[in-house]
Amino acid sequence: MLVTSAWPYINVTPHLGNLVGSVLSADVAARFYRLRGEEVLMVSGSDEHGTPIEVEALKQGITPKALTDRNHAYVAELFKRWGASFDNYTRTENPVHKEFVQEFLMKIYRNGYIFAEESRMLYCERDQRFLPDRFVEGKCPYCGYEHARGDQCDRCGRLLETTFLVEPHCVICGNLPVVKATKHWYIDLSQLAEPLSEYIKANRQLPANAKNFSLNWIQEGLKARAVTRDVEWGIPAPFPGAEGKTVYVWVEAVLGYVSATIEYCRRVGKPELWREFWFGKDARSLFFVGKDNIPFHTILLPALLLASGEGYNLPWNVSATEFLQFKGEKASKSRRIGIWIDEALELFPVDYWRFFLVATRPEAKDANFSWEFFADKINADLNDTFGNFVHRTLTFINSRFDGAVPQAEQLTMEDEAVLQGIREKVETMAEELEAAKLQSAANTLISLSRLGNQYLNEKEPWNLLKTDRARAAAVLYVAAQVVKALAVASAPIMPGTAEQMWQTLGLAGSVHWCRWSDALEPLEEGHKIAKASPLFRKIDSTAEQLDELLAKVREKMANA
Ligand SMILES: [Zn+2]
Ligand SMILES: [Zn+2]
């Protein structure tokens, strides 16, 4: 099982919406499949070439490499703090990647899928440079969106060429560009339309949003797509006569999934192992991307792999999220709309964020972040339901049963129903995670804790203790089994919290080394647990107070 996330583009630090669509979702899936006993490899890396990096470096007055060295180190460290369990988080400047991309492109060139053509590109006479991709903005010819970029429209998602833009302007100086002749190398996607369409139709995992979008696009007619650019910052194009050109950033970024696998396998001394992940009959690959990245993973990547003629496995599933908006608007660093992944960790513990983002993951439509919504989810689901149930159960066992799982002499039908409920919820959650329905899985996890909470409220073991100690013991025995199941089942979503529960339950090793099926292995009677401390704290600040707190964090970080 190869689990990947879209390569974060590191011109800026990712915001929460970037994270939930890529790295966080991939991490939840990778952790789940490891618990299932699969051989999992989780890879991604910093996408550091291309025009937005150059644009940002120009703005800051430094070289692109200086910018990406700094940002890659910063972002890689942040992902660790977010608990991302990458086997390899690499970068597109690494030599394994560069070499692989060049060799791969030469292979498809020799296979006849690449052709060169004199074409007319936008050129800024003031800056004396061609304006590919994000160096130019204008109106989308399809939907009329005013701020479409040279390579893609953010509103309708269509891939564009810069010359398609209506009323284009140079993003460096704002001037109207001219059209100038230059030579570029193209991949002839039309030759691949039929196998691509067959692949997408036959793929049972692809969610409807990815499937429909891709099939529509193929039906409209796949145009040849330039794989070279007139920019300096990137991988030199390997084609004969292409000196001075570099490889289009999306082409190399999607090939990075392969090169990152190769790099990892070499590093662990098994240089041929990567083939099992990319050619193995029983290997599956799972991609987590934002919806604007769908065509690169369902069209461009499969097209490249097919064109190699080598028999690569095509993506098994591409799970695409919609956008996370902030108070009804798209995240924008310049307008200070949104929350960035470094700021978030200064405000609340990482598992609060991981839980919130997964439980509200924008799967069917755009989601909207507000402080009220965040505080409500944390308070109602994590603190009052999950945390409260676990803490009541464990402290009660600590104080009234000498810290040992009580003996259940006799289980009633209601007790059995709760134990059955554990099995059903854990099974449902596994099905949801298999289907990449992470949001549903997070909510099933909470419903399991709700089941335990309601059971405690109904049985009132604190009262039973006065009249029927054996009944109270049986209830606490059952409740302890719910806590055990919650510890395992929460491991993919809240790894730190799960580990805290595992340790408090006095279980050996780490929850992250166990198996998903261990959720259903009961704690034995008499098993000793440790002293419990609360898992979460209630958020009682208002939205205004949280906004002020965020502003303070920003100020502190800007000065650091
Ligand atoms: Zn558009
Ligand atoms: Zn210009």
What digits encode the pLDDT tens for the residues 304-352? 999 999 999 999 999 999 999 998 888 877 778 899 999 999 999 999 9
Assigned token pair, 190: 């039309």
Quick one: 386 and 299 in the same domain? Answer: no
Question: Please, are residues 314 and 31 in contact by the beta-carbon 8 Å criterion?
Answer: no
User: Does 275 lie in the same domain as 411?
Assistant: no
Query: Which residue bears the tokens 């996607």?
Result: 189
Residue 537 falls within a domain, yes or no?
A: no
Give residue 140 CA to ligand 1 midpoint distance, Å: 5
Residues with C-beta atoms within 5 A of ion ligand 2 = 124, 126-127, 170, 172-173, 175
Q: 130 in a domain, yes or no? A: yes
Decide which of 345, 373, 393 is a domain's last residue: 345
Q: Which of 318, 313, 310, 305 is nearest to 277 (CA)?
A: 313
Q: How confident is the model at residue 54 (pLDDT cuts 50, 70, 90)?
A: confident
**Nearest ligand atom owner, CA of 158:** 1
CA distances from 486 to 283, 354, 444, 521, 530 (A): 30, 16, 11, 12, 17
Task: Tell me, in angstroms, the distance from the centre of ligand 1 to residue 408's CA.
Answer: 64
Q: How far is CA 109 from CA 210, 236, 307, 312, 436, in A?
A: 28, 15, 9, 17, 36
pLDDT for position 533? 96
Q: pLDDT tier at 134 (50, 70, 90 boundaries)?
A: confident
DSSP state of 518: G
Distance 178 CA to ligand 2 centre (A): 10
CATH value at residue 125: 2.170.220.10
Q: Is residue 361 part of a domain?
A: yes
Kindly report the average pLDDT of the chain as a whole number. Answer: 95
Query: Do residues 357 and 498 share a domain?
Result: yes
17 and 78 in a single domain? The answer is yes
Domain check: are 334 and 367 in the same one? no
Each residue's pLDDT tens digit, 483-528: 999 999 999 999 999 999 999 999 999 999 999 999 999 999 999 9
Is residue 355 domain-shared with residue 493, that is, in the same domain? yes
Nearest CA among 389, 361, 378 for reference residue 541 = 378
Tell whether 200 and 280 lie within a shared domain.
no
Would you say residue 117 lies in a domain? Answer: yes
Q: Judge whether 547 lies within some domain.
A: no
Q: Which ligand is nearest to the CA of 170?
A: 2
Q: What CATH number is attached to the domain comprising 9?
A: 3.40.50.620
Distance 361 CA to ligand 1 centre (A): 24
Rounded distance from Cα 324 to ligand 1 centre (Å): 19
- The number of the ligand nearest the C-alpha atom of 135 reads 2
* CA dihedral sign, ordered 12, 14, 18, 23: positive
Using pLDDT thresholds of 50, 70 and 90, give the confidence band for residue 248: very high
**Model confidence pLDDT, tens digit, residues 398-444:** 999 999 999 999 999 999 999 999 999 999 999 999 999 999 999 99
Residue at 194 is within a domain: yes
Looking at residue 518, what is its pLDDT? 98
- Looking at the CA of 130, name the nearest ligand: 2
**Is residue 379 a contact partner of residue 496, using CB atoms and an 8 Å limit?**
no
Least confident of 8-12, 244-248, 450-454: 8-12
For 12-55, give the DSSP string.
S--BHHHHHHTHHHHHHHHHHHHHTT---EEEEEEB--SHHHHH
Separation of alpha carbons 512 and 503, rounded Å: 12
Q: Which ligand is nearest to the CA of 131?
A: 2
Asked, for residue 149, whether it belongs to a domain, the answer is: yes
- Would you say residue 232 has pLDDT above 90? no
Q: Based on the domain organization, do 470 and 438 belong to the same domain?
A: yes
Asked whether residue 536 is domain-assigned, the answer is no
Do 467 and 384 fall within a single domain? yes
What count of Cα atoms within 13 Å lies in the side-chain half-sphere of residue 184? 23
Contact present, 478 and 406 (Cβ < 8 Å): no
Question: Is residue 429 located within the same domain as residue 500?
Answer: yes
Work out the average pLDDT over 5-12: 92
Q: Which domain holds residue 75?
A: 2-88+250-345
Please tell me the distance between residue 231's alpha carbon and the centre of ligand 2 in angstroms: 14
Q: What is the pLDDT of residue 16?
A: 96
Number of structural domains, the chain?
3
* Ligand in nearest proximity to the CA of 159: 1
Ligand nearest to C-alpha 168? 2
Q: Which residue has the higher pLDDT, 158 or 458?
A: 458
139-174 tens-digit pLDDT: 999 999 999 999 889 888 888 889 999 999 999 899
- 165 C-alpha to center of ligand 2: Å? 16
Among 345, 379, 410, which residue terminates a domain? 345
Domain boundary among 345, 371, 396: 345
CATH number assigned to the domain comprising residue 372 = 1.10.730.10
The answer to whether 256 and 7 have CB atoms below 8 angstroms apart is yes
* Same domain? 78 vs 133: no
Looking at the predicted structure, is the pLDDT value of residue 451 above 90?
yes
| 427 plus 513 within the same structural domain | yes
The rounded Å distance from CA 123 to ligand 2 centre is 8
Q: Give me ligand 1 centre to Cα 226, in Å.
A: 19
